[in-house]
């Protein structure tokens, strides 16, 4: 009789131990999950300036795409040979053709050329799409020639609808406009022929 009671007690104890172990294990997993989640970059951290990758494999010649970096729009433009030629034509009309007076960030050394782009990919232009006057976002006016609110010899570029500032196809501001400086070029680098990262280059993150 005693052996039977002892077996019943041992069986009950075993079930209790298994149940408490399972509950404890679930509690442990629940406790670890928020910790693991907290190790991932937050949206605030991303907005603070984490580099952003962009796939440009589908960006056709003459097209522009927009990605967000540091809460700002960044334009990536695939310029045609004709558009690069229009940059040359605009030189005499530009207030600061060589960007001696940058806006909020220095022009990267690898973009200190007439196209403000990496020499191995001169057609790809990367710009922060914020007007250097009062922070509006200019709109593309890539077509050349006379258009409403633009000069008759317009070489193509961007027009800011807020106060009329204009920028050429390298993001350089035209003379006698409200905007005092060229559009910023952020640090960037090519990860491959079809992917770039913005906010990071060979020197590290911006």
pTM: 0.76
> What count of other Cβ atoms lies within 10 Å of the Cβ of residue 8?
10
Same domain as 155, residue 83? yes
Q: Calculate what percentage of the chain has a pLDDT beyond 90.
A: 72
11-20, 21-30, 52-61, 188-197: lowest mean pLDDT where?
21-30
Token readout for 147 is 């258009």
Same domain as 96, residue 25? no
pLDDT digits (tens, 9 = 90+) for 133-160: 998 999 999 999 999 889 899 999 999 9
Residues 166-172, mean pLDDT to the nearest whole number: 98
User: Higher pLDDT residue, 161 or 4?
Assistant: 161
Same domain as 160, residue 72? yes
Same domain as 102, residue 195? yes
Same domain as 104, residue 59? yes
Same domain as 110, residue 63? yes
Closest CA to 202 of 193, 191, 194, 192: 191
Same domain as 157, residue 81? yes
Same domain as 36, residue 70? no
pLDDT digits (tens, 9 = 90+) for 111-123: 999 999 999 999 9
Number of separate domains in the chain: 2
Determine the pLDDT at residue 49.
73
Same domain as 153, residue 79? yes
Which structural domain range is residue 193 located in?
46-205
Supply angle C-alpha 11, 17, 22, rounded to 5. Answer: 130
Distance CA 9, CA 134 (A): 80
């Amino acid at each position: 009789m005693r052996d039977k009671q002892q077996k019943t007690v041992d069986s009950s104890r075993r079930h209790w131990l298994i149940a408490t172990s399972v509950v404890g294990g679930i509690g442990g997993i629940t406790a670890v999950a928020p910790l693991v989640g907290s190790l991932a970059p937050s949206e605030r951290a991303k907005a603070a300036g984490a580099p952003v990758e962009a796939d440009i494999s589908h960006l056709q010649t003459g097209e522009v795409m927009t990605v967000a970096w540091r809460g700002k729009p960044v334009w990536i433009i695939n310029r045609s040979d004709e558009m690069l030629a229009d940059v040359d034509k605009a030189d005499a009309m530009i207030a600061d053709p060589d960007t001696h007076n940058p806006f909020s960030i220095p022009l990267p050394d690898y973009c200190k050329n007439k196209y403000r782009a990496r020499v191995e990919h001169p057609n790809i232009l990367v710009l922060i799409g914020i007007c250097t006057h009062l922070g509006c976002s200019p709109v593309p006016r890539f077509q050349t020639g006379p258009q409403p609110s633009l000069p008759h010899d317009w070489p193509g570029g961007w027009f800011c609808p807020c106060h009329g500032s204009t920028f050429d196809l390298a993001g350089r501001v035209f003379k006698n406009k409200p905007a005092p400086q060229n559009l910023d070029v952020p640090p960037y680098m090519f990860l491959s022929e079809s992917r770039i990262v913005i906010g990071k280059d060979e020197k590290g993150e911006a």
